[in-house]
Structure 1
Amino acid sequence: MTASPAIDAMLAPQAAAAADDSAEALHVRAAQAGDMAAFEWIVRQHEEKLFGFCCRWLRCVEDAREVCQDVFVRAWQALPEFEGRARLSTWLYQIALNLCRDRAKSRSARQRESTTTIDHLEEQPACPQNAPDANAEWRSEMQKLERGLALLPEKLRAALMLSAMEGLSHEECAQVLNCSVRGTEGRIYRARQMLLQWWNEESQ
C-alpha cells in the first residue's frame, strides 16, 4: 500500500480469528431455540472485533459502544431467521455497518466532545506492537491514515475497512455490502489508489 511499515501492517489482510465453525453452528442452533447462554457465547466470540469496527467507523467510543450493543440486540431478535447462507460473522458485520451508517447520519448535525482519533480510543483494537522509540511515529501515521479514510467515499471506505482491517474475504465483503464480488474488488482497488494518492500528496 505504502512505503510505511506501519500503514502496510494496518492495511494488510489479517488472518481470521473466528471461532471453530462447528462449535459456532451448535451455539447458533441452540440460540435460535432460545438458549441465552449459547447466545452469550456468540457475543463473546464476536464483540471485540465488532466493537473495533464500530470505533473505526464512528470515531467515537460512546457511539461505538451503543451501536455494538444494538448489533447484538438486533441479532438476537433476527437470529431465528438466520439461515446460515453466510458466515455468522459476515451477517453480524452487515448489521453493524447498517447501524453505523444510521448513527453517523443521525449525529451529522451535532458534534460530540467524545469524538476522538483512533489512537486515543479507550478500548481500541490491538495493533502490532512497536518498539518504544517507534511509538510516536506509529501514532502519527495512524492519525494520518484515519484522516485519509474519512475522506474516501463511503462505499469505498466500507469495502477497504472490511477487507484490509477486518480481514474479510472479498466474497464475505460482497455479502456485507450487498454487491458482487467483482464490484467489491473494484471498490477496494479504487479505495487503495485514492488513499495512496492522498497519502503521497500529504507527504510532499
Structure 2
Amino acid sequence: MTASPAIDALLLPQTEVAADDSAETSHLRAAQAGDMAAFEWIVRRHEEKLFGFCCRWLRCVEDAREVCQDAFVRAWQALPEFEGRAKLSTWLYQIALNLCRDRAKSRASRQRENTTTLNDLEQPLPCPQHPPDASAEWQSEMQKLERGLALLPEKLRTALMLSTMEGLSHEECAKVLNCSVRGTEGRIYRARQMLLRWWNEEGQC
C-alpha cells in the first residue's frame, strides 16, 4: 500500500530534543508547594503543544483555547496529588484529552458547528522534511489528511495523534489513554492502516 511522501512523514513519530527535566522537576516541586510563579513557568513550557493538540482534536480554535485553559486550571488544582508516576507532560495530555472529550460531547448536544481547517489553526500540523516551495501542495495534503483523520474512530484517531503528531512514546500514549501498551500499539497500527487505505481510495476517485 502506497501513499504520498507527506502522509508517510506525518505517520512517523516526531522526535524532539531532550528536555531539561531537572529544571522542570524543581519548578514542579515548587508549584506543588503553592508557588504560582513556578506553575506559570510550567504553563509557558507546555501550553503551546497542549493547545496544538486541543486544536487538532477539537478542530475549533475557540473551544481548544478554552479547553487548554481549563486543563491548566485542573492541573493546578490537582498538582498537590500528582505523584510523578508518569511524566508531567503525559499527565497534562491526559487532562486535556478528557476535557476535549467532554467538550465534544457538549458541542454535539448543542448541535453547534464551529469548526475550522488546519490551515486556520495557530498550531498547524508539523511538516518535517518538506521544502517551503511546495507549501501549496503540502497544504492540500494537510486538508486531505484532516478529512481522513476525522473519519477514524475516536480511540484510533487519538492514539495516532499522540504518537505521530505529539511525539509521545507508546508507553506514554498508553498512560494518557488508560490502555495497555500492546492495546495502544494495536490502535496505532489499525489507525495507520485505515488512514492509508482511505488515502489511496481517495486518490483513485
- TM bucket by the smaller chain? over 0.9
Higher normalized contact order (CA 8 Å, seq sep 6+, divided by chain length): 2
Residue 8 of structure 1, CA deviation:
2.1
Q: How far, CA to CA, are the matches of 2:126 and 2:44 in structure 1?
A: 16
Stretches of 4+ aligned residues off by more than 3 angstroms = 16-19, 122-133
Q: Which residue of 2 aligns with 1:90?
A: 90
TM-score of the pair, normalised by structure 2: 0.93
* CA 19–37 in structure 1, closer or farther in 2 if over 3 Å, else same: farther
Two-structure CA RMSD over aligned residues (Å): 1.7
Residue 9 of structure 1, CA deviation:
2.3
Q: Which residue of 2 aligns with 1:111?
A: 112
Residue 134 of structure 1, CA deviation:
1.4
Residue 88 of structure 1, CA deviation:
0.2
Q: How far, CA to CA, are the matches of 1:122 and 1:165 in structure 2?
A: 15
**Structure 2 portions without partners, runs of 5+:** none
Q: How far, CA to CA, are the matches of 2:105 and 2:196 in structure 1?
A: 27
Q: Which residue of 1 aligns with 2:177?
A: 177
Asked if residue 67 in structure 1 is aligned to residue 71 in structure 2, the reply is no
Question: Partner letter of residue 153 of structure 1?
Answer: P
Cα deviation 1:145-169 (Å, max 9, x = unaligned):
0111111111101100000110000
After superposition, where does 1:1-204 map in structure 2 within 5 Å? Answer: 2-17=2-17, 19-108=19-108, 109-113=110-114, 115-124=115-124, 127-128=127-128, 130-204=130-204
Q: How far, CA to CA, are the matches of 1:34 and 1:189 in structure 2?
A: 42
The answer to whether the Cα contact below 8 Å between 1:16 and 1:168 also exists between their aligned partners in 2 is: no
Q: How far, CA to CA, are the matches of 1:130 and 1:21 in structure 2?
A: 30
Question: Partner letter of residue 110 of structure 1?
Answer: Q
| Percentage of matched positions with identical amino acids | 84
**Structure 1 portions without partners, runs of 5+:** none
Residue 118 of structure 1, CA deviation:
0.6
Count of matched residue positions in the alignment of Structure 1 and Structure 2:
203
* CA 133–15 in structure 1, closer or farther in 2 if over 3 Å, else same: closer
* CA 18–55 in structure 1, closer or farther in 2 if over 3 Å, else same: farther
Q: How far, CA to CA, are the matches of 1:166 and 1:45 in structure 2?
A: 14
TM-score of the pair, normalised by structure 1: 0.93
